[in-house]
Structure 1
Amino acid sequence: MTDSAVGDTLKPSRLSARDVLGVGAVGLRARRARVVLSALGIAIGIATMVAVVGLSESSRADLMARLDRLGTNLLTAEAGKDATGKDVTLPRNAVAMVERIGPVRHATGTGNVDARIRRSDLVPEERTAGVTTQAVRTDLLAALGGEVDKGAWLDPAGERLPVTVLGAVAADRLGITRTGETIMMNDVRVVVVGILEPLELVPNLDRVAMVGFPAAERYFGFDGHPTTVFERSTDASVEDVRAILARTISPGREGGVRVSRPSDALAAKAATDKGLTTLMLGLGAVALLVGGVGVANTMVVSVLERRREIGLRRSLGATRNAIRLQFLTESLLLSALGGATGALLGAAATYGFARVQGWTTVVPPWSLAGGLAATLLIGVIAGLYPAIRASRLHPTVALNAT
């Protein structure tokens, strides 16, 4: 009996969607170990892609929250070199000059102090532990949005005394864990009255021991000229203030004043993270492609092993379309199993890592939907050839296969 005769003799019945899923699931249940291994390749690819997107979005959300908290309206102006290569000295009244700019809400400054810092007088002078000294104003902490971890910040009385507030890194390098301890600045014994939390916008101050302007002039020969001016203005006027800040501080020598926006470093980090995310998504796509090849290989082997089953079904009236649909459904179910598992693993990895980092967990719904859609596409592509090959098997040849 020919293939066409079989189709004419037995009237094919239509399979419902439930029947198609049932028939497709039978093939997967019969080869569980192979199915798990094949689905694993898909799962790894989807988990990688979901986790990369989730971690990137979680990191970006944390960064935006930090920027909102710290503000993007802080500008710094630092003394540099003029056109002839000479060091520019900012005027003593630089802060007062900046405060005259209309949109400026707050201005303050710091100055470099030539004072070697040692843990005690028993430590040689050359061993400074990488900690420098800065003269600061009492309004610095408020302008930068910093917080004190231990002790207190400088007050109008403390800024005139031999006392210091240490940045977080400076305290760690000097081995200072509590206030009331003393350190040596040149030959002057100075009392530590406070330790700061890390300053996210101005991390270079984390490695600094800070003393008041009057104390720096009295005990360490500070000349009173600031080397860095910080200012905060209204958000809408940041760029306008930036354009005139150097000229206001040092008229005629504005080329030697470097103006920067500390929040730009955080924004640049977000751009860098975005590029890294794209790279990692590419690696995830490669893993997904490898998983798709594994699914295709599994389905081809399945067709070869089940030729008798295919021949029997064809002899009982199953059409070529029904055979194609059966194996295509198996491929889709196999891919969907891997995709769903990968999406759960990726979301779990995102949640775990974000919790460790203290971030808000963000898993965009589109990443899960996109991952599952990619999975189904891989399932169709991987299962198409095996399904067509199965449907072309002649019933007689299939039944006689060994």
Structure 2
Amino acid sequence: MSKVVIIGGGAAGMAAAIGAAECGHDVSVYEKNEKLGKKIYITGKGRCNLTNGCDTEDLFRNMVSNGKFLYSAIYGFTNFDIVDLVEANGCPVKEERGARMFPVSDHASDVTGALERKMKSLGVKIFLNEPVRDIVIRDEKAAGIILEKSGKSVDADVVVIATGGLSYPSTGSTGDGYRFAKEAGHTVTPLSPALVPFVCAEDDVKELQGLSLRNIEVTVWNGKKVLWKEFGEMLFTHFGVSGPVVLSASSYAAKIIKKTPLRMDIDLKPALSKEQLDARILRDFDEAKNKQFKNSLNHLFPAKLIPVMIKRSGIDPEKQVNEVTAEERKRLVDLTKAFSVTLTGLRGYNEAIVTQGGVNVKEVNPSTMESKKLQGLYFAGEVLDLDGVTGGFNLQIAWSTGMLAGRSV
């Protein structure tokens, strides 16, 4: 039996604790916050999108960074395994659009509660409000931790770093794990906010603040290269664009947008070809033949979008619809199929769901999550250079890597 100390009581830390305790080890979790799983409470707008119900093989297609590194972790503890675990401990789960999995209660706290019950049933010791200052390294092995408040040293055979990244620093994700990793001889790859809203250059985007669009398709371009294309929902904000399809795009754009602005085209009517859309506009015009152009678009666009579409189309708003030329109509069609905005940057870690970058996975054994640099040191979750798109994939990274680290002790 080994004495295992886990730094961080979030998703990865709790999974690691369960994995190690099930193998009969003496496990202690040190969490700097007043409760476990603080970041879990704000995921999925407080409902906790705990994983995705897709085929396990499809999980890898939704990973942005270093997906191949996750093979052992994910096949060792799958998306179906985490559902079974929380359900067996009193938290029934349901599937929603996009195969997103949520607790039936819609309360994120029920997911944390289920895992905490499991930990306690296995004898895991939980220390809250206990930030860790340093890792103890002795004879080229991880040998324990030093607590921040008391300066007390806690001996251990194994230390698991599950401290999270930098996103949502109010939940305690302040980058401690990166410092611990560097002190143990590890490389930390460049860090960036990911699954985060974009800032846009255009002034008219501010006029659309609060407008939510469904069933649209966005394409993000780096010059002539498509970086991301997705169908779904988005939101205009006072600074730019947000919403599920936009957040996922940010993970593919995070490194590039630091060097150059990008273009996002929004197809407002992806179900219609340009010819079908033109025919639809002609029908609307026919029904509104005595109206001015500005009063003919109510069936086509949300009210808030109409003034911006009119301005961008260059068509005189006072013009009678029966006087709108075929060329003007083509401009309106093109604009509807590609409403363009210039993406100039990302919002900060306060709004980012995850951190991109982290402990270099080449320095970690993918079969065990143990450091290749320091015996007895393991990593799990967001502290590693691993991230996925929205839909429960990032929490699955935490569950799978945490469980593998715990079981590998």
TM-score, reference length from structure 2: 0.23
More RCO (CA 8 Å, sep 6+) = 1
Larger Rg computed on CA atoms:
1
